[in-house]
Amino acid sequence: MKKVLLIGGLCGMTMLRAASMIEDECREKEIAIEVKIQNVWESPTVYMDGLDVLIQMMPLYETAPCMLVSGKPFISHFQEKQLLSSIVEYLERGGEAS
């Protein structure tokens, strides 16, 4: 089971949409996945253990013990598909960078 966490604040609907898109893509590729979202205003502490991908919707972390991704394309819709593909491909490869 691959684990993806989206963290953000005011962009709650955007996170829900992004999570849904990732789940749909992974289902198509038959990748077992758990996608969660976290509003960091409500819960500021982010637990990264066991995560495969951390997507941040605003600049919070410089590094993470997993793939760290800017979620900006999900907000601007610019290069959104490319981002989605790169996340799914990464998960498909078993969480290893190409």
Partner 1 sequence: MIYTDHAATTPLDTRVFEAMKPYFQEQYFNPSALYSQAQKIRKEIEKARSQVATLLDADPNEIIFTSGGTEADNLAIKGMAYALKVKGKHLITSQIEHHAVLSSFKFLESQGFEVTYLPVDHTFRVSVDDFRRAIRPDTILASVMMANNETGTIQPIQELASIARSKEVYFHTDAVQAITSCKISVRELGVDALSISGHKIYGPKGSGALYLKKDTPIVSWITGGDQERGYRGGTESVPNLIGLGEASKILQSERADRESHGKVLRKKFMEQLKHHHLDFQVHEHPTYQLSHIVNIGFREVESESLLMHLMLRGVLASLGAACNSSSVEPSYVLEAGNVDRAYIKGSVRFSFGREISEEDVVWIANEVKEILELIGKVDF
Chain positions contacting partner 1, by CB under 8 A: 9-11, 40-41, 44, 56, 58-62, 70, 72
C-beta of 15 vs 22, nearer to partner 1: 15
Are the CB atoms for 71 and 6 separated by under 8 Å? yes
Output the smallest distance, CB 61 to partner 1, in A: 7
Rounded least distance, CB 36 to partner 1, Å: 18
Query: For residue 57, with 0-12 CB atoms within 10 Å meaning exposed, 13-18 middle and 19 or more buried, which class applies?
Result: buried
- E strands, the chain, in order: 2-8, 33-39, 53-56, 67-70
Cβ nearer to partner 1, comparing 33 with 83: 83
Taking the complex as a whole, the smallest distance from the CB of residue 23 to partner 1 amounts, in Å, to 23
Q: Can you say how many angstroms the Cα of residue 87 is from the centroid of all Cα atoms in its chain?
A: 7
